[in-house]
């Protein structure tokens, strides 16, 4: 084992089995299941399993003393987990599992038709996160030439990759294959028919939207069913993100979707009215929800007026309340049977607010949760930069914890 990785592995193993971590895991299990108790947690959300740019501000490059890509991936992942658990005083947990993406067999365009990004005015292609796409689906006939998403795992290559990771950690940490259970059919659709055209379609060709939504929804369902049948699904991969920890609904049969959470969202549809969401999106969300044990509905947009429709989703358990949503109105609409993931406005809290302003806003949200006696976690999330000062995250967590201890 590389001398950079060895002490990290030891620390992660020690902390993941510590009494503090085990208590936090049980706390999150209760938080996610025994709703209506009025338990409030706080959390600084960082992308522990991805090379997000903010980590380059937090963990110095000189800490990663290996150029081997697998060793580097492991070292970065473990450093992030340790930093989050040891330095930031919130309720986060630490798991020892190393996650590896599967190796896929290449079969060309995944749907038989390639999406095409719009070219900018200067002749360059926009960055990936701009999500500007041309309409390659222009009519029903184009849709008929598409096929369900090709997603075939190269089992032999994936097993070799897992073995390489296991060798790198001397078999001391579990290594598992990560399969995403995020489902976003409308977002998928916008990569093949531009959002501008889809907005016209809501008036001019509503049935065409339903045909496309049916295609992408059915493709998602069939893909996940194939992965479940192949025993590729692991519920743990759906916990260590927003949910943090949970128990198995069906412990006698671990690798099934009914043990998993899904991250359900279609944020490209934020421009649709609540009635249009109910007509064009909700029926397909409802079908997808039935596949899983629990649903986390995410939306960085304002979901206040959509909440009355979303609450009818099967298996809904966790509801995202963005800074643009009205937390009080949503909680009044949905009631005590859900967990509320409430987010502060990160740019304000990290870049402009004084500590007193931070405290005031956190207390306002905590007081709402306690007033309605709901389980809620107050989150600082979508952190793009700490402007070179990671201590901002630590201090925010300290302030949030002190607010919880006031009562």
The domain limits of the chain are 5-404
Please name the helix (run of DSSP H) or strand (run of DSSP E) that holds residue 317, with its range, or none. strand 316-321
- The torsion angles phi and psi of 22, rounded to 5 degrees, stand at -65, -35
Cβ burial 293-321 (10 Å sphere, 16+ → b, else e): bbbbbbbbbebbbbbebbbebebbbbbbb
Contact between 322 and 343 under an 8 Å Cβ cutoff? The reply is: yes
Question: What CATH number is given for 5-404 in this structure?
Answer: 3.20.20.210
Nearest residue to 70 via CA among 173, 151, 154 = 173
Q: What integer pLDDT is reported at residue 238 of this predicted model?
A: 94
Q: Where are the beta strands (DSSP E) in 223-297?
A: 261-264, 294-297
Q: What is the pTM of this model?
A: 0.92
159: part of which helix (H) or strand (E)?
A: helix 155-168
The pLDDT of residue 120 is 55
Predicted confidence at residue 123, as pLDDT, reads: 54
Spatial separation of the C-alpha atoms in residues 294 and 27, rounded to whole Å? 18
As beta bridge partners, residue 316 has 295
**Do residues 214 and 273 lie in contact, with contact meaning Cβ atoms separated by under 8 Å?**
no
Residue (of 286, 98, 114) closest to 183 by Cα position: 286
Contacts of 360 (CB under 8 A, 6+ apart): none
- The single-letter DSSP state of residue 353 is -
Confirm if 235 and 267 have CB atoms less than 8 A apart. Answer: no
State the Cα–Cα distance between residues 131 and 195, nearest whole angstrom.
10
Consecutive 10-residue averages of pLDDT for the chain (407 residues): 90 98 96 92 90 89 84 94 96 96 88 76 54 83 89 96 97 96 94 93 96 96 96 93 91 94 94 96 98 96 97 97 98 96 97 97 97 97 94 97 89
| CA gap 178, 114 in Å, rounded | 25
Alpha carbon distance 84, 167 (integer Å): 26
**How would you classify residue 231: left for phi > 0, otherwise alpha for psi between -120 and 50, otherwise beta?**
left
Q: Say what the pLDDT of residue 181 is.
A: 94
Task: Let me know: does 183 contact 264? Beta carbons within 8 Å.
Answer: yes
Instruction: Name the β-bridge partners of 341.
Output: 320, 377
Distance of CA 359 to the CA centre of its chain: 26
């Amino acid at each position: 084992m590389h001398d950079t990785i060895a002490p990290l592995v030891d620390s992660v193993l020690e902390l993941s089995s510590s009494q503090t971590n085990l208590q936090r895991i049980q706390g999150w299990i209760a938080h996610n299941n025994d709703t209506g108790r009025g338990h409030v947690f706080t959390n600084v959300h960082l992308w522990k399993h991805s090379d997000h740019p903010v980590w380059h501000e937090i963990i110095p490059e000189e800490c990663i003393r290996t150029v081997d890509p697998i060793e580097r991936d492991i070292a970065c992942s473990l450093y992030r987990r340790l930093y989050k658990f040891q330095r930031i005083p919130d309720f986060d947990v630490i798991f020892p599992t190393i996650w590896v993406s599967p190796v896929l067999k290449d079969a060309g365009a995944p749907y038989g038709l390639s999406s095409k990004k719009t070219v900018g005015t200067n002749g360059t292609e926009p960055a990936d996160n701009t999500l500007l796409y041309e309409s390659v689906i222009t009519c029903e006939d184009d849709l008929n030439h598409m096929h369900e998403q090709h997603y075939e795992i190269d089992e032999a290559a994936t097993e070799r990759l897992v073995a390489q990771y296991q060798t790198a950690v001397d078999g001391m940490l579990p290594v598992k294959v990560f399969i995403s259970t995020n489902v976003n059919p409308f977002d998928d659709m916008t990569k093949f028919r531009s959002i501008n055209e889809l907005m016209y379609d809501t008036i001019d060709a509503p049935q065409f939207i339903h045909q496309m939504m049916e295609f992408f929804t059915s493709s998602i369902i069939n893909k996940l069913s194939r992965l479940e049948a192949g025993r590729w699904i692991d519920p743990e991969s759906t916990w260590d993100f927003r949910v943090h920890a949970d128990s198995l609904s069906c412990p006698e049969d671990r690798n099934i979707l009914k043990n998993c959470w899904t991250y359900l969202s279609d944020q490209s549809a934020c421009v649709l009215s609540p009635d249009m969401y109910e007509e064009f999106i909700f029926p397909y969300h409802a079908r997808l929800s039935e596949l899983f044990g629990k649903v986390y509905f995410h939306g960085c947009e304002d979901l206040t007026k959509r909440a009355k429709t979303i609450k009818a989703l099967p298996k809904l358990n966790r509801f995202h309340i963005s800074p643009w949503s009205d937390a009080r109105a949503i909680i009044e609409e949905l009631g005590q049977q859900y967990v509320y993931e409430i987010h502060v406005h990160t740019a304000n809290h990290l870049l402009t607010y004084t500590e007193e302003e931070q405290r005031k806003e956190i207390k306002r949200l905590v007081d709402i949760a306690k007033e309605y006696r709901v389980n809620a976690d107050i989150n600082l999330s979508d952190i793009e930069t700490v402007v070179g000062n990671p201590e901002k995250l630590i201090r925010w967590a300290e302030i949030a914890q002190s607010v919880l201890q006031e009562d």
